[in-house]
Structure 1
Amino acid sequence: MPQKIYFDESGFTGNNLLHPDQKFFAYASVATSDDEADEFVRRVIEKYGVQGGELKGSKLVKFARGRKVIDEILERFGGKIKISISDKKFSLACKLFEYIFEPSISDINSLFYGIGFHKYIANILYLEFSARGAGAEEIFQEFEELMRSGDEDKLPNIFSSSAHSENSPVIAQIREFAQLRSDDIRRELSALKNSGAGKWILDLTNTALYTLLASWGIQYSPITAICDPSKPLQHDPHIFESMIGRDEKLFSDFGEERHPITFNLSGPLEFADSKKTHGIQIADAVAAAAVYVFSNANDEDAQKWRTTILPVATFGSVMPDFDEVRLRDFRVQRNAVLLMELHARAKAGKSLTEGMPEYIRALSRRLVVDPIPFRSFAGA
């Protein structure tokens, strides 16, 4: 029999990843049966007097009795839970690399992913934003508006609002690179429009669900996926339908990390009313608890939940890693110099990819022998 897995989210804001009150997005899953979920939910609702006859994670985390329900959920289903949790601003920084940089280097993008250049760009942008670096907030806002509107007329002057006398070299280089390579970005946006994939382009739901299913697919085959109704998922279910009855197990080693990329669904995604589907209620409570834990909560409950949630919150999660921007590190120095090289080539109208593998090898050898003094980057 297929294994039923229930899914729900917390912190959904669609294409608005800069929502001031919802900084994290969690997509939670629980592998259970109808009978187990029904028995458990009915029991805790009666035991703790949960109002409305339904477990709603956003309410449970706010009150002592609700938190006890979450305690019982994590104790009962701890080994049957997987979570994807993402910092929305960092996710937006990752998407900026994907749609501003990658179109210009797509011919050899595996080379850049292999050395972690995408991680450097995303983390340095996030760091600038978090530290309120001049122009960083404007870059994020303009990029989000561009992706939501698809207005290609703004591309030649993209990120102009970020221009400031106190811009860091990184902010200036990213802004000028985007303007100089605006034709590449335009082609990418046009392709998105033609494919019909643009409506929910910044939303994190599809990626989170796909990654969770791929991870569950190692353990179970086939899977019946039961989700709370979701506009992004219902908009384009094709990628999930292609996994129906798919038995082979394929993996990706892209970016020097091995990930499963296939799974076996018993049928199309099923969308169910959470009021009537207790497995979804459990997933909803887990998602809310994950957002609570990652929102810097440090009370007794958060500390207790963290021991269960952190080990299973690694499936497609998108979180910053400041090791990727420590300029004393060889890899980070290489990526910082590489950004300067791409910027210089774009400014000179030269090919961004011609001779790049050789350039990166030569740069790597040079930095191993003669690392750049940390202070030198301040005036880059």
Structure 2
Amino acid sequence: MIIAADKRLNLGGKTFEYIFEPVLEEQCALFYHYDLHRFLMHALHRVFFKAGGPVPKLAEELQAFMKSFDPADAPTVFAAAGQDAETDEILDCVLRFARGYAGIIAKQNETLRKDVNPVGKWTLDLTTTCLCSLILHGWGHRHESLDVLCDDSKPLQAMAHVLNGFVGNTKSADVVGGGGQSATIKANLANPLRFGSSAANPTLQIADIAAGATTDLLQHQKDPAYRALAHWLIPHMHAHTMLPDDDFIDLKRPKSRINFAALKELARRADAGEDPLDGMQGFYEELVAEENKKLKWRFK
């Protein structure tokens, strides 16, 4: 079983989590239902991709921006947005939203402002997230007991206590995600997570080969020479794999247009100091009705 996660896409997701969720949390299920989070994270992924800088640098800029809401603290990001009119408008909406509801956002994100965590760690560490998916939403459902050996990793070692709580666990539990969807987590660890080096553990060498082959495939998806590798690897990809999908920001698609309109409405409310949630469900329903009318007219 293999899982992959795009770091720039994760940065986009963190933007929604740290800037939008604190303001929208009372009705977050509504926005998750319409995939506003996916629309925004994919739009920002395009910005980060065009920026072309190292991911740690982008992470540092983004974290600095989340403290100050000043574009000058994220020059690479905002310069890249200016290369495309649509993404520039989206980033402008993010900036207006952040400034308009700065008090709420700052209160919810006090740990960021106090620099409790080293710069960039909260954005770059996807290893723990991916391992939890592999164990709790994967291997734990396939096997009665698991002995997990991981390559030496400081982030994993720091979070090992979370998974070590599943040692000897024979129960499962249903958890509800941000979009209101329920999923079952299940795992019974035979012992706490073990750590080792590839040099001393052939199994980790095999894991390195699988990870390297996956990375190579994802970088050459359109190359016919990689079709055989894709045929072998793709069936083993975990459902939580997080890769860019431009369908979420294609304004030729109704849902993308709906979310773009909703984002602009949230930015307008931020400018005016209005309640960000009041009547938003009705606003979305009106947008959906308008898109349905267009479809009916097209098929007449």
Short-chain TM bin: 0.7 to 0.9
1:312 aligns with 2:243: no
Q: How much does 1:166 deviate?
A: 7.1
1:201 aligns with 2:122: yes
Q: How much does 1:307 deviate?
A: 1.0
Identity rate, percent = 25
Q: Which consecutive unaligned segments of at least 5 residues does structure 1 have?
A: 1-81, 374-380
The structure having more radius of gyration, on CA atoms, is 1
1:211 aligns with 2:133: yes
1:181-231 deviations in whole A, cap 9, x for unaligned?
333332333246789666731111111100011211111122121101101
1:36-73 deviations in whole A, cap 9, x for unaligned?
xxxxxxxxxxxxxxxxxxxxxxxxxxxxxxxxxxxxxx
- Residue 18 of structure 2 corresponds to 99
Question: Does the 8 Å CA contact 1:119/1:324 hold for their aligned counterparts?
Answer: yes
> Aligned AA for 1:303?
R
Indicate how the Cα distance of structure 1 residues 150 and 118 shifts in structure 2: closer, same or farther if over 3 A, else same.
closer
- Residue 96 of structure 2 corresponds to 176
- Residue 195 of structure 2 corresponds to 271
Q: Which consecutive unaligned segments of at least 5 residues does structure 2 have?
A: none
Give me the whole-angstrom Cα distance separating, in 2, the residues matched to 1:335 and 1:315.
24
Q: How much does 1:348 deviate?
A: 0.6
1:231 aligns with 2:154: yes
**Greater displacement, 319-328 / 244-253:** 244-253
Give me the whole-angstrom Cα distance separating, in 2, the residues matched to 1:274 and 1:322.
36
- TM-score (structure 1 length as normaliser): 0.65
Give me the whole-angstrom Cα distance separating, in 1, the residues matched to 2:261 and 2:4.
31
Give me the whole-angstrom Cα distance separating, in 2, the residues matched to 1:286 and 1:160.
35
Give me the whole-angstrom Cα distance separating, in 1, the residues matched to 2:278 and 2:22.
15
Give me the whole-angstrom Cα distance separating, in 1, the residues matched to 2:198 and 2:18.
35
- Match 1:144 to one of 59, 84, 96: 59
Q: Secondary structure at the match of 2:2?
A: strand
Q: Secondary structure at the match of 2:172?
A: coil
> Aligned AA for 2:277?
T
- Residue 249 of structure 1 corresponds to 172
Give me the whole-angstrom Cα distance separating, in 1, the residues matched to 2:30 and 2:57.
28
Q: Secondary structure at the match of 1:223?
A: coil
- Residue 69 of structure 2 corresponds to 155
Q: Secondary structure at the match of 1:250?
A: strand
- Residue 121 of structure 1 corresponds to 40
Aligned residues: 284
Question: Does the 8 Å CA contact 1:158/1:179 hold for their aligned counterparts?
Answer: no
- Match 2:143 to one of 206, 212, 220: 220
1:87 aligns with 2:87: no
Q: How much does 1:257 deviate?
A: 5.3
Q: CA RMSD in A?
A: 3.2
- Match 1:261 to one of 181, 185, 188: 185
Question: Does the 8 Å CA contact 1:229/1:271 hold for their aligned counterparts?
Answer: yes
Q: How much does 1:137 deviate?
A: 6.7
Q: Secondary structure at the match of 1:261?
A: strand
Question: Does the 8 Å CA contact 1:247/1:263 hold for their aligned counterparts?
Answer: yes
Question: Does the 8 Å CA contact 1:228/1:273 hold for their aligned counterparts?
Answer: yes
Q: How much does 1:128 deviate?
A: 4.1
Indicate how the Cα distance of structure 1 residues 259 and 93 shifts in structure 2: closer, same or farther if over 3 A, else same.
same
Give me the whole-angstrom Cα distance separating, in 1, the residues matched to 2:29 and 2:115.
23
- TM-score (structure 2 length as normaliser): 0.81
Q: Secondary structure at the match of 2:91?
A: helix
> Aligned AA for 1:344?
R
| Structure with more of its chain in helix, by fraction | 2
- Match 1:355 to one of 265, 273, 279: 279
